[in-house]
């Protein structure tokens, strides 16, 4: 996968994650966070140079 692929995934997650924050449901928010962290594990296996911190920020989870 390329950086462009990772950015596309993060952008889609960001939209959904923020929708769940605006329309709170603990199970939905926890579910999307679970998916994000599972994706991180898989993306790290795919690419050793994968930057978890950058991906989390792009997903809208991590702050500066």
* Residue pLDDT, tens place only, 28-60: 667 778 888 888 988 898 899 999 999 999 888
Residue 47 lies in a domain: yes
Q: Could you tell me if residue 9 is inside a domain?
A: yes
Total domains in the chain come to 1
pLDDT at position 53 is 93
Q: 25 lies in which domain range?
A: 3-59
The Cα–Cα gap between 7 and 19 comes to 18
- The number of CA neighbours under 13 Å toward the Cβ of 9 is 18
Length of the chain: 64
Tokens of 62: 């991590």
Domain assignment of residue 64, yes or no = no
Q: Does residue 15 form part of some domain?
A: yes
Tell me: pLDDT of 11 over 60: yes
């Amino acid at each position: 996968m390329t950086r462009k692929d990772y950015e596309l995934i993060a952008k889609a997650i960001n939209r959904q994650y923020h929708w769940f924050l605006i329309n709170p449901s603990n199970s939905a928010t926890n579910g999307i966070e679970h998916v994000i962290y599972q994706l991180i594990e898989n993306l790290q296996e795919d690419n050793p140079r994968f930057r978890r911190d950058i991906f989390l920020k792009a997903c809208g989870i991590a702050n500066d």
